[in-house]
């Protein structure tokens, strides 16, 4: 279970993500990014013609999330594709291994230049929920 | 036995110290300094200049200065621009002051409209002080035709430009760069386009840094970045990037206008774009590298997007050389887009259209090593301009002879449907703002806010009534970039004019806008 809330930002897109687990929080970021670059692309089940693996080591949960989403974004641009499927083989505080599957996209609706580290802070709140802010440079 | 115990104790102490330092570093980054700045904290130095003293926050190394007429200040205080400006004042090696121009708005890390100079060679270089769109910038082409000659054909011209210039997200251009050609573009910048027949050889002299930073090293640019840029030369992308046909509506300074070759009613073309996906990837790659490298240099920024390393460090030098390569890609991109504009112009007007000559090309997201006077002493500094334009005064040897005595042309695009300006750089900007000035109108409404308030179809009709044709890929893009989303460009320009950090030369009125 996760939630994605859109907050105000003068030039870019600011979100607040909340989830029951670290894995779900990462999934929320993945879904939010898809909603921005091509809102309807993942509505139908994916005949995933483009499959990629992402393996990452980062210094902490926060950089791991931003680096993961940055890698997905890079692959989306490189393959001109939207990645709808996400499966984590491993995910910890500073390491993950995931496979993503997607389909070619004829252009994107929004140009996300980058997933920024600004205000990002992956942590568990007093209720045990995982949460962070996320700002996309548009 | 005693030696073994001492060794074990030493190992435990070292381990505890490492945990403490790492934990302190990460928790500091996690609890990014978010404080609220209010008007009472600002000291007014001039009608157009405000200062947050160094004592505003204990980690500030220099004061923070805001160029703004009072009318603009409330909008500036509405978002987190000034909190971000205070963060910039903590950048290692920063000199004089962190500064924002009157078009400032909230960004990530640096505020947009920010200027910061750090001591050369050991001061910080921060990708956040340049932005993801490295060498996003503007160029102005000027025609031989006056408005009367093309009146009634603006829509036709805009449509032809839309056909010739690929725009929108994920759309490639007509040039596919091989690995070898990509290396050449990254090294040569705009000159590559000229050599390949896509540029005007006379234009290079009329481009900031002649369209090429010689420190560029393509080997410092990742393969992923090169892949992303492979088909993007000659494309404008989306967001606030555009190509705009306009006319000279008002001349403020006749001598400067004459030196620049501008006259009343002359038709112009303004191009705004940058280094596209290649530049975005360079910034992403090096922020990640710096994030890991910072502890080695004892750097703990108040915001992760202000990640930096010493300019002279291996990571700093690698980033700078990659950034220069991305900047060269952007200059080449704008040169190829100029070629596409010329093609569209010629397709519509034929020989009667005459030539489109480059007035000037400026970067507004970049870091440069420059000489400036700080505390009465001439010194080399690393000037970060993020949403700020170089505005060098007269007699700089790089300028073409035609306007060396006037100063650098400074190009300030307004929002879609409002005026743009050509300004001139001044001696005052050299003395007080590291030769920098504003870069545009500056957003005041979020994209979502603009979309809520603007009916794109109605806006297009209203602009049409005012004689402005918009050729855009989507209604959504039009709503996001509506004039209501931006500050009053006239007030922004008035601020820098009164402050003397650029002077008004001409005002341009839009006639046709091509957007992704």
| B12 found inside a domain | yes
Say if CB B287 and CB B309 are below 8 A apart: no
Does B280 participate in catalysis according to the annotation?
no
Say if CB B393 and CB B426 are below 8 A apart: yes
Q: How far apart are CA B124 and CA B283, in angstroms?
A: 15
List, in order, residues 6 or more apart from B344 with CB less than 8 Å away: B157, B160, B161, B163, B164, B165
Helix (H) or strand (E) holding B160: helix B154-164
Q: Is B284 on the interface with A (CB under 8 A)?
A: yes
Cα–Cα distance list, A41 to A2, A85, A104, B168 (Å): 20, 11, 10, 17
Q: Per the residue annotation, which of B372, B384, B439, B497 is the catalytic one? A: B439
The partner residue sitting opposite A59, judged by closest CB among B133, B292, B444, is: B292
* Chain B residues with beta carbon closer than 8 angstroms to that of A111: 169, 237-239, 516
| B475 found inside a domain | no
Q: Is A63 on the interface with B (CB under 8 A)?
A: yes
For residue B481, the chain A residue with the least C-alpha distance is A11
Same domain, B426 and B294: yes
The 3-state secondary structure of B11-64, one letter per residue: HHHHHHHHHHHHHHHHHHHHCCCCCCCCHHHCEEEECCEEEECHHHCCCCCCCE
| B469 found inside a domain | no
Domain residue limits at B402: 137-444+486-515
Q: Which of B446, B390, B421, B438 is nearest to B69 (CA)?
A: B438
* Strand, coil or helix: B448: helix
Q: Taking the alpha carbons of A114, A119, A124, A129 in that order, is the dihedral positive or negative? A: negative
- Domains in chain A: boundaries: 2-137
Q: How far apart are CA B372 and CA B124, in angstroms?
A: 17
Across B254-363, the runs of DSSP E, i.e. the strands, are 266-273, 309-310, 357-363
Helix (H) or strand (E) holding B254: helix B254-260
CA of B418, closest CA in chain A: separation in Å?
Answer: 19
| B478 found inside a domain | no
List, in order, residues 6 or more apart from B454 with CB less than 8 Å away: B478, B479, B482, B484, B485
| B194 found inside a domain | yes
Q: Which of A111, A17, A13, A29 is nearest to A66 (CA)?
A: A29
Contact B107 A37 (CB under 8 A): no
List, in order, residues 6 or more apart from B178 with CB less than 8 Å away: none
- Is the CATH code 3.30.70.360 the one for domain A2-137? no
* Strand, coil or helix: B339: helix
Q: Is B33 on the interface with A (CB under 8 A)?
A: no
pLDDT in tens, chain B (516 residues): 444 444 555 544 444 433 333 334 444 444 444 568 999 999 999 999 999 999 999 999 999 999 999 999 988 998 899 999 999 999 999 999 999 999 999 998 999 999 999 999 999 999 999 999 999 999 999 999 999 999 999 999 999 999 999 887 667 899 999 999 999 999 999 999 999 999 999 999 999 999 999 999 999 999 999 999 999 999 998 888 999 999 999 999 999 999 999 999 999 999 999 999 999 999 999 999 999 999 999 999 999 999 999 999 999 999 999 999 999 999 999 999 999 999 999 999 999 999 999 999 999 999 999 999 999 999 999 999 999 999 999 999 999 999 999 999 999 999 888 999 999 999 999 999 999 999 999 988 888 888 889 899 999 999 999 999 999 887 877 888 889 999 999 999 999 999 999 999 999 999 999 987
Confidence (pLDDT) at B169: 65
Contact A12 B108 (CB under 8 A): yes
Say if CB B514 and CB B161 are below 8 A apart: yes
Same domain, B25 and B150: no
| B454 found inside a domain | no
In the structure encoding, which two tokens stand for residue A97, read together? Answer: 């291994």
Say if CB B337 and CB B66 are below 8 A apart: no
Contact A8 B304 (CB under 8 A): no
| B220 found inside a domain | yes
The partner residue sitting opposite B239, judged by closest CB among A77, A107, A138, is: A138
CA angle, residues B270, B273, B276, in degrees to nearest 5: 160
- Which residue bears the tokens 């440069």? B368
Contact B132 A114 (CB under 8 A): yes
In the structure encoding, which two tokens stand for residue B245, read together? Answer: 């046909």
Mutate to test the interface with B, among A113, A119, A134, A138 (most CBs of B within 10 A): A113
- Segments in chain A below pLDDT 50: none
């Amino acid at each position: 279970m996760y939630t994605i809330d859109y907050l105000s930002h003068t030039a870019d897109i600011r979100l607040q993500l909340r989830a029951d687990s670290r894995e779900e929080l990462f999934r929320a970021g993945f879904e939010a990014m898809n909603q921005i670059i091509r809102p309807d692309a993942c509505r139908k089940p994916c005949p995933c013609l483009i499959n990629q693996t992402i393996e990452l080591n980062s210094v902490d949960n926060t950089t791991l999330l931003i680096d993961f989403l940055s890698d997905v974004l890079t692959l989306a641009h490189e393959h001109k594709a939207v990645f709808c499927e996400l499966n984590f083989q491993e995910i910890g505080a500073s390491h993950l291994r995931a496979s993503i599957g997607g389909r070619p996209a004829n252009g994107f609706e929004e140009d996300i230049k980058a997933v920024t580290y600004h205000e990002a802070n992956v942590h568990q709140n007093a209720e045990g929920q995982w949460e962070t802010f996320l700002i996309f440079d548009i | 036995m005693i030696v073994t115990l001492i060794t074990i104790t030493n190992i435990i102490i070292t381990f505890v110290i490492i945990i403490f330092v790492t934990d302190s570093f990460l928790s500091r980054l996690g609890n990014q300094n978010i404080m609220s700045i209010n008007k009472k904290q600002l000291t007014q130095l001039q009608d157009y200049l405000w200062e947050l003293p160094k004592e505003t926050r204990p980690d500030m190394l220099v004061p923070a200065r805001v160029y703004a007429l009072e009318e603009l200040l409330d909008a500036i205080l509405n978002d987190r621009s000034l909190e971000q400006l205070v963060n910039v004042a903590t950048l290692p090696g920063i000199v004089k002051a962190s500064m924002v121009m009157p078009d400032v708005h909230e960004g990530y890390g640096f505020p947009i409209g920010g200027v910061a100079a750090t001591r050369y060679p050991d001061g910080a270089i921060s990708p956040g002080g340049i932005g993801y769109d490295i060498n996003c910038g503007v160029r102005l082409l000027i025609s031989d035709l006056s408005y009367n000659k093309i009146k009634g054909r603006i829509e036709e011209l805009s449509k032809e430009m839309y056909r010739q210039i690929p725009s929108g997200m994920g759309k490639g251009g007509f040039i596919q760069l091989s690995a070898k050609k990509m290396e050449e573009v990254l090294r040569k910048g705009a000159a590559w386009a000229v050599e390949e027949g896509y540029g005007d050889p006379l234009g290079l002299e009329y481009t900031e840094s002649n369209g090429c930073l010689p420190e560029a090293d393509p080997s410092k640019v990742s393969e992923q970045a090169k892949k992303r840029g492979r088909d993007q030369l000659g494309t404008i992308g989306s967001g606030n990037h555009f190509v705009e046909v306009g006319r000279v509506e008002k001349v403020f300074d006749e001598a400067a206008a004459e030196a620049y070759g501008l006259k009343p009613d002359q038709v112009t073309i303004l191009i705004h774009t940058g280094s596209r996906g290649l530049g975005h990837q360079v910034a992403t790659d090096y922020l990640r590298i710096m994030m890991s490298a910072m502890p080695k240099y004892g750097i703990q920024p108040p915001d992760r997007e202000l990640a930096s390393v010493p300019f002279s460090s291996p990571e700093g030098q690698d980033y700078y050389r990659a950034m220069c390569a991305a900047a060269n890609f952007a200059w080449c991109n704008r040169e190829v887009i100029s070629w596409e504009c010329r093609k569209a112009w010629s397709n519509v007007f034929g020989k009667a259209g005459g030539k489109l000559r480059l007035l000037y090309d400026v970067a507004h997201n970049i870091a440069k090593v420059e000489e400036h006077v700080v505390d009465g002493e001439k010194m080399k500094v690393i000037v970060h301009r993020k949403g700020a334009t170089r505005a060098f005064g007269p007699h700089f040897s790089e300028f073409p002879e035609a306007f060396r005595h006037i100063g650098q042309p400074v190009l300030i695009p307004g929002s879609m449907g409002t005026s743009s300006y050509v300004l001139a750089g001044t001696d005052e900007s050299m003395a007080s703002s590291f030769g920098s000035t504003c870069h545009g109108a500056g957003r005041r409404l979020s994209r979502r806010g603009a979309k809520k308030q603007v009916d794109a179809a109605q806006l297009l009709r209203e602009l049409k009534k005012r004689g402005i044709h918009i050729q855009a890929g989507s209604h959504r893009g039009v709503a996001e970039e509506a004039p209501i989303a931006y500050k009053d460009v006239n007030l922004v320009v008035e601020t820098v004019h009164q402050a003397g950090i650029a002077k008004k030369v001409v005002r341009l009125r839009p006639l046709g806008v091509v957007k992704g």
